[in-house]
Amino acid sequence: MSKTVLITGATSGIGKACAHIFARNHHNLILCGRRSPLLHQLSDELEKKHKIKVLALDFDIRKRFEVEKSINMLKDEWRNIDILVNNAGLAAGLGPIHEGEIDDWEKMIDSNLKGLLYITRFVSPMMVERNQGHIINIGSVAGRETYLNGNVYCATKYAVDSLTKAMRIDLLPYNIKVSQIAPGAVETEFSLVRFKGDAEKAANVYKGFHPLQAEDIADAVYYTTTLPPHVNINDLLIMPTAQASATNIMRK
């Protein structure tokens, strides 16, 4: 049966790969992100290729009133959101706490933590009303282990871990599944964003080993949504085989 899936951060990486796999499986999509041309290009492509309905919603997840307006303005045909993939997020910088760029901290807290909360706050009441739904939060190994210079990014992902548990408890009476998928190193635009466009630094992160690809995580996200009504995946930590912990990577 075709479902309605809202994916944040669908313009690249894990979110984009999720859009592809849900589209291939004939679900209708609400795709979110800030880069409007990329979002519309992807929406048109998936709509034509898979004969599904796709709505492109470009807003900044950090802006509470933009998020609220975008969700509240959804027409009736889009209000039955079955699956929410809370994926949008970023790391900005990698440095010790005493030299931290406060603007970077604000960016990460506003996107990974507050943005995820805003979306959830405006989408979850529609799920509660229908007594069904599935929320999938993209956490990270950084939400399990704090690593050198990862400070605020790690803190936001620990917060995602905590909020996933909180959502599962609060939404339990309403038959809503809540899952967390927590990846290790995935080769996406993530490091390019973290290092502010420094392509060499970004490439070094994935050098000498086989990192996860966005599709590996999208496969797991999709699988999580295919289980019978009485089965929920609470939490999955998915790592590249060559990565044993946040900082232990076997490079050739």
Is 222 part of the annotated catalytic residue set? no
Cα gap 98→122, rounded to integer Å: 36
Cα gap 94→157, rounded to integer Å: 15
Q: Is residue 189 involved in binding ligand NDP (CB under 6 A)?
A: yes
Q: Which residues contact 216 (CB under 8 A, 6 or more apart)?
A: 183, 186, 238
Query: Considering the complex, what minimum distance in angstroms separates the CB of residue 131 from ligand NDP?
Result: 28
DSSP H or E run through 194 = helix 190-194
Beta bridge partners of 33: 58
Query: Considering the complex, what minimum distance in angstroms separates the CB of residue 12 from ligand 8X3?
Result: 14
Query: Considering the complex, what minimum distance in angstroms separates the CB of residue 229 from ligand NDP?
Result: 27
One-letter amino acid for residue 176 of the chain:
I
Piece of 5-13, 18-26, 77-85, 94-102 that binds ligand NDP (CB under 6 A): 5-13
Q: Is residue 140 involved in binding ligand NDP (CB under 6 A)?
A: yes
- With CB under 6 A as the contact rule, the residue among 5, 7, 13, 52 that binds ligand NDP is 13
Q: Which of 153, 158, 206, 222 is catalytic?
A: 153
Nearer to ligand NDP, 4 or 180 (CB): 180
Q: How far is CA 185 from the centre of its chain?
A: 14
End-to-end CA distance of the chain: 45
Nearer to ligand 8X3, 82 or 187 (CB): 187
DSSP label at residue 93 = -
Binding site for ligand NDP (CB under 6 A): 8-15, 33-35, 60-62, 87-90, 111, 115, 138, 140, 183, 185-186, 188-190, 193, 214
